[in-house]
Structure 1
Amino acid sequence: MYKTILVPIDMAHVVEGKANVDLAASHCAQGSKVILLNVVEDIPNWAAIDLPAGQFEKSVELTTTELKAIAKASGMHMDVDVRVGHSYDTILKVAKERNVDLIIIASHRPGFQDYFLGSTAAKVVRHANCSVLVVR
């Protein structure tokens, strides 16, 4: 069993994220901590100028609310963390900061661009300093 489990959730794939939360619950030991993480992709300044005022902050707030609802529905106490940055870098950074034992991450069928750039899950697997469970 694991002491600290990180579950990154892509809000575009919430169903898979909820399934990973259930999976995390099954891998918890007594007193374990589960952290739900969403990474809001940083928007370049040239693009952010065209957004309505406060739109980015509203997005972060809405995401936090949705993650808290997922945590509450699980019946377990979970930490919720919403960060701004690039997905795989931020996932690895949070895993290191919070001394995570296991990352449970969803994977999707790779698209054309993933063959050249690599998916977030693949990058996390290659660079994580802890166990990673990839769920497809």
Structure 2
Amino acid sequence: MFKTILVPIDLAEPDSSGRALNAAIQMARDYDATMHVVTVVPDMGMSIVGGYFPEGFEQKALDETKARLKAYLEDLVPGDVMAKGHVMHGGIYEQILQIADQLSADLIVMASHRPAMRDYLLGPNAARVVRHAKQSVLVVRE
């Protein structure tokens, strides 16, 4: 049923991301699917904000995130599951939707916290992905 599963993770939230990853691992096994794990490094936004960071800061952040994602996958993904890591840069939900389309993902499996009142007004990234994704989305709660 699913051949390409996308799993967006937040390396700063290993507990909630881990639950989504575990669900995706089981689904990848069940469907003999390839799992793509993506993390997004947010951009700095306006150039005036970037001016407060040292030159090369964004590239260094991307390089360090790639290394952290590689270690995360080596530690948590069993050898019988095909998993590929991706680091994106930009707006979080936009990058998730973009890579889902690029990879022709069948399913997005992602974590979400319990909504707070502010989330009903602003909308968290998971809610935006659910609303705008062309793919099926499984949201794994805390």
SS in 2 for 1:21: helix
**Does the Cα contact within 8 Å between 2:8 and 2:110 map onto a contact in 1?**
yes
Q: Decide whether the 8 Å contact of 1:7 with 1:36 is kept in 2.
A: yes
Q: Does the 8 Å contact 1:102/1:133 carry over to 2?
A: yes
Deviating beyond 6 angstroms after TM superposition, the runs of 4 or more aligned structure 1 residues are: none
Cα offset, 1:3, TM superposition: 0.6
Separation in 2 of the partners of 1:102 and 1:89? 16
**% same residue:** 39
Equivalent in 61, 64, 87 of residue 63 of structure 2: 61
Gaps of 5+ in 2: none
Whether the aligned pair in 2 keeps the contact of 1:18 and 1:70 (CA below 8 Å) is no
Q: How high is the TM-score relative to the length of structure 1? A: 0.90
State how 1:51-130 maps to structure 2 within 5 Å.
Answer: 51-73=53-75, 74-75=77-78, 76-130=81-135
Give 1 or 2: higher strand fraction.
Answer: 1
Q: Secondary structure at the match of 2:49?
A: helix
- Paired positions, count: 135
Q: CA deviation at 1:11?
A: 2.1
TM-score, structure 2 normalization: 0.87
CA RMSD of aligned residues (A): 1.5
Name the amino acid aligned to 1:8. Answer: P
Residues 88 and 118 of structure 1: CA distance in aligned 2, closer, same or farther (over 3 Å): same
Contact 2:41–2:90 (Cα < 8 Å) also in 1: yes
- Are 1:133 and 2:138 counterparts? yes
